[in-house]
Chain A
Amino acid sequence: MEEHISPDYYDLDDILAEQERVTCQVRLRLRSSDLHLIGLGEPVDRKTKQFEIPFWLAQGLESKMVVTTNVPRAFGPRAGAALKADPVGADLRTVEGGGSGQYFRLGQKIATLCVLHVTLLPFCHVARSRAPDAIRLLLSRKQDYALGEMLHEAYTSRLSHVLHTAHRAMARDVSTDLERLDACEREVFRLAYWAASMSSHWRKSAGVSGLNRLTASTLSREVGGAAAAAAKRNLPGDSSFRAADTRDPAGDASGAASLTGYETAASLALAVTSTTQKKARFG
């Protein structure tokens, strides 16, 4: 079987989400020594054939049709109903079995896993040999279809609250609201807060000092001012400004087609300054 590495393989959030333990059901006849291969050495309930393993392991075993993963209670129908009833109030970080702060990420993985399972089922020899079992499983998985939709709905109904929190964070302490957000939502919060603070910083910087902002007109003022000062002291300035200085400033502007905006602006500034100087000299 071809093993491909997902792009999230080195993602820390992904690793954290997949650490969560899920309950699995063994589907093959498993000797107790086989479980030592898994490395946990935990006893398997002989009757229910259930045991707990991390999600990443369950994912791998499930694709080999060795185990069936049970959907954790945090993503079950009851949790879904609670989330639907009060989307904003739910605390997604501390929910048990909810991926320890990675609720949506883990939920999405479980939803995908269940779907994968159902699509693979008819083609699997294990399922063929035990047809009634397979059909029963298929029926139970039907309910899990709703998980993806449930997560989608929960995320979107919480999103406006997240954005609102980011807006309020500009003015007051929102740490209690932040505690309830899952990692995906925190990322949105972080970006929204960053964008809002950049924009408020931009508004303030204009009021305090225009020099903080590098624009064509401020640049021309600075560069043009320096060139004019150099001309005043009869010092050789930068070559492009010297060129503008030696020519007649009034006639020069029309021949400035080859100059860029900055250079033109600078030579214009120079033209304005030298006109002032001329006036001062004659008047």
Chain B
Amino acid sequence: MADTSGGGLAPAPVPSGASLSPPSNSELDFCAENEFVTIVPAVRLPRMNLVTGTIGPLHPQRETLVPLWLALMLKRAGRARIRPPEWLTEDALRLYLKAEIASSAFSPLPFRYLEISQLILQAAPDDVPGATKIRALIEDLRGRRAAKIRRGVASVVSTDVLISLSNMSAIEVNELRPQLLQALHVVNSLEKSSRVADDAG
């Protein structure tokens, strides 16, 4: 799928150093829309047998788990309300933030927390209580995790100890990938020359 996130504002330069083409952020958005959320529909829809699985049936005012893309579509048509996932509440995010500050590990947020929170907050801010505060909390979490990642890269490259990448989200991995690969490539070639030296001695 073409990267349309540029929109016409800024063309996306493709880094010549990257030989692999990792997914773009808008492709990650696309993947995130396959995650399931709870909705309260206002319409009746029969069971749908799709390639990816069965959805529904939907009954008015009965909570149902549906993929995010369907939830967003119904929400935009004014046919459903989205129940935000339990991690997307002010109290839960405060706890995550506290854990993020206290520990050097990443707090166990969902793999696609950035995409899902952004899609839901954008399409259904009225369904999320305290949407403005939640936006600020997510931004805070993101900033702290990004700082942690930057520190982690330096340590991963300088020592043989690996940092734990568990609980790192898709967008964060995407943001880290190009420079980490390049740095490891250089370090690898430098290491090779010193390792051959050890063998020779």
Contact = CB atoms under 8 A, between A and B. Distances in A.
A261 B197 contact: no
A260 B52 CA distance: 9
Interface stretch (A30-38, A51-59, A93-101, A206-214): A206-214
Interface residues of A, number: 73
A215 to B, nearest CB: 5
Nearest to B151: A160
Given A108-B190, A195-B177, A269-B73, A215 B30 contact: yes
A156 B186 CA distance: 10
Interface residues of B, number: 70
A202 B182 contact: no
Interface stretch (B10-18, B96-104, B105-113): B10-18
Interface in B170-184: 171, 174-179, 182-183
Interface residues of A, dominant DSSP: helix
Interface string A84-123: 0000000000000000000010011001101100110000
A188 B154 CA distance: 12
A145 B195 CA distance: 9
Given A194-B13, A253-B46, 8 more contacts: A156-B187, A198-B5, A198-B12, A205-B9, A212-B9, A215-B30, A254-B47, A254-B48
Interface of B: 1-2, 4-7, 9-10, 12-13, 15, 17-18, 24-26, 29-30, 33, 43, 45-52, 68-70, 72-74, 76-77, 79, 118-119, 122-123, 146, 150-151, 153-154, 157-158, 171, 174-179, 182-183, 186-187, 189-191, 193-198, 200-201
